[in-house]
Amino acid sequence: MIRKISAFLLFVIAHVQGSAQAAVLTDYGQFDLLARLECSPGGYVNDNFYHPGSAAFDVTASVTDAEFCSGGGNAEANADVTISANQYHLDLLSFGSTSGSATSNAYAGVWGLDRIRFTLTETSTISVAGNVDFTLLSAINGEPVDTSGYFYFKVYTNEDYFYEAASSAPKNTGTWNWIFNDQFALPPGAYILEAAISTYSRLAGSTHSGVMDMTLTVNPARLVGIDIKPFDAANIVDPTGTSSGQNRTRVAILTDSGFDATQVAQDKVRFGPEQVPNVKSPPVALNVDGDGDVDLILGFVTRKTGISCGDTSVTLEGETYAGEAFVGTDTIDTALPCVSSCHP
């Protein structure tokens, strides 16, 4: 007897807030959806949907076989995709089950992959939040059988990974939940967003289902003024941190009419190519640029920042307590210390 179980939902949004031009979906990439029944011995049957990319589609991959492994089985997934210039939306519903003899080597599985491309025209903060729930009904006469599921969600270029959320439900766990909420900054450039999910039931009598909700949001970051090595116009930085007075690099975040540096969440600030946090010492709040406002000075371990000989500027990124992302860049001079201590 075929048992139909509850829906599996994948929901991913890439959406720009504040500036419609901050992110543009330039290529819809690929979408691949697979439903599969397999019995050993006995072979397998697939229903596979592949789409090279489209602004919108609604498709189902479905396999049902009443004679599957002498007991029956099914696997089905439905995907509804809509895409605009700055928003991506995918609903994926799926379920699967196997029946028959407990000694049969039966498999019912669903697998989905979506990959799109987007371009950032300015430094932006990416927020990823969501949750994953699997229900794995995995017992025959009280004995566990093999059911499981996994997912991953990535943002990357052809050279580097910038973010990955990934996890697997432990086999035969019943109900399983995973919650994530992350934020990171990306510079201008072309990126790939990829989401994949798999659930399966292996051995007759097992079933699987799940729900995954995810949201990806792109927020343009506020440009703010920073002053590397305040009160030192030369801005000389020794990348090795070994020169006298160079073990730490101090950076002032400047207050202006629309931005209050004293409201910066210090644990969210990152500096340099290696995106290092500030050192665990009290910040200094004072007027650095002489405009009467209170600015904020933080310190960073120089050798950990990733600054290299030949670098002429460094960027600092962060958030305020209210969650507003900001970014600032200032010039540096590494020429003099690098003559003796490093090689370009």
Query: 157 near 145, Cβ under 8 Å?
Result: no
Indicate the pLDDT class of residue 343, thresholds 50, 70 and 90: very low
Q: What share of the chain is helix, strand, coil (3-state, %, to 5)?
A: 5, 60, 35
What is the side-by-side strand order in the sheet with 222-223?
222-223, 325-331, 313-319, 270-271
- Tokens representing 168 are 């697997």
Percent of the chain with pLDDT over 70: 76
C-alpha 166: how far from its chain's center? 9
Q: What is the pLDDT of residue 113?
A: 82
Query: 128 near 163, Cβ under 8 Å?
Result: yes
* pTM score, whole prediction: 0.61
- How far, in Å, CA of 118 to CA of 209, rounded? 31
Domains belonging to the chain, first-starting first, are 10-220 (no CATH), 222-341 (2.60.40)
Residues 151, 13, 58, 157, Cα dihedral to 10°: -60
Q: What is the pLDDT of residues 29-61, one digit of tens each?
A: 678 888 888 887 778 888 888 876 656 778 888
Q: In Å, how far are 214, 245, 312, 322, 338 from 234, measured between CA atoms?
A: 47, 14, 12, 34, 15
